[in-house]
Amino acid sequence: MNEVILVLTFILSFLLTLYGTPLAQRVAFRYQLMDQPDGKLKKQSQPVPYMGGVIVYFAFISPISLLFNFNQQLLGILFASSILLLVGLFDDFKALTPGIKFLFQIMSTYILLKSGITIDLIFFPPWLDVLLSFVWILTTINAFNIIDIMDGLAASVGALTSLTIFIISFFDGNFLVSILALSLSASLAAFLKFNWEPARIYLGDAGSMILGLIIGSLTMMASYTRFNRLAFLSSLFLMGIPLFDLVYVSILRILKGKTPFRGSPDHFALRLRSKKNWSSRKTVSAIILLQLLLSGTVVLNFFSTPRVTLFCSIVFACFFLFLGVILAGVKME
């Protein structure tokens, strides 16, 4: 019976996004909720509508509302993400300061933790698990927000990450995480039809922030250590690309005496595109391959030994360090 519900969830979420996104585009055009090119950070040839995050969230939540009984954790995710959705829409209208936006991120994170969604590491005291959970969710929200810099990038990484969480939770028998991850993955997969270069609609801050909150929550709710006690590191593999960009951009901006909270064209994806002289489509495709490697490693860790996890962690740490050093030499505007 659970398998039938999962199949129906995937189909409903996929179709709702596929047929709902054109409607979201029309609404954005009507109310001028558009991303205007400025020749600096925003170099698209013409205005592109926001509202993608609204339809992704609607398609994500609708099948679950119809096919799954609500519990405290699910209500926590929905309540917290609904707040971020509204905050993101106001931010897309340029009606909020970064400080106010961050305050609402903290509020949403608190609601999430209050619903019982926290990291559960047996070698840490409970208060430290809560503190780490608080920092983790705030980090994932802003990490996904910061990688939404190129057509199809955030949606692609989000789709693969949530699909990987579905695979792990399905084998672990966690139906709640399975249905949430599958619904989000299906919605993002359909959204890519409109968000792939050249994008006809963007996620906007509303979409990227709820993406970070939901995926950050799912990484904590999933269990990776059924066969491998060191596989709890899988959350870092799943979030490897957004976390790398967040840390990388922050370091580069601080070294240049700039605030890490102000946007500038120094993201690793933009640097990679410039260095290789690739199109955005080719750059995103290369990053998708990297995410597939990271996701494959998560599945491998689930069924393997701590030694394999340790080896993979060292390899990817060295890779990202090398990538950061190489791309730091690329001159950006």
Q: List helix spans (H) across the chain.
A: 2-30, 52-67, 72-92, 98-114, 126-147, 153-172, 175-195, 204-221, 234-238, 240-255, 268-276, 280-303, 306-328
* Helix or strand (DSSP H, E) at 93: none
**Quick check: is 188 in a domain?**
yes
Q: How many other C-beta atoms lie within 10 A of the C-beta of residue 24?
A: 23
The amino acid that residue 58 corresponds to is F
Q: What is the pLDDT of residue 263?
A: 66
**Quick check: is 226 in a domain?**
yes
Q: How many other C-beta atoms lie within 10 A of the C-beta of residue 23?
A: 11
Query: What distance separates the 2 farthest-apart alpha carbons in the chain?
Result: 57
Q: What is the pLDDT of residue 44?
A: 63
In sequence order, which residues have a C-beta less than 8 Å from that of residue 60 and are 6 or more positions away?
13, 183, 184, 187, 214
Q: What is the pLDDT of residue 43?
A: 63
Q: How many other C-beta atoms lie within 10 A of the C-beta of residue 333?
A: 10
Phi, psi values for residue 31, rounded to 5°: -100, 10
Q: What is the pLDDT of residue 326?
A: 93
Q: What is the pLDDT of residue 261?
A: 66
Task: For residues 95 and 290, give the distance between their C-alpha atoms in angstroms, rounded to a whole number.
Answer: 36
**Quick check: is 274 in a domain?**
yes
**Quick check: is 333 in a domain?**
no
Please list the rounded mean pLDDT of every run of 10 residues in the chain (333 residues): 88 96 90 72 73 93 87 92 90 79 94 91 83 95 92 96 96 93 97 93 91 95 88 92 94 80 79 92 96 96 93 96 91 73
* Host domain of residue 91: 2-328
Q: Structural domain tally of the chain?
A: 1
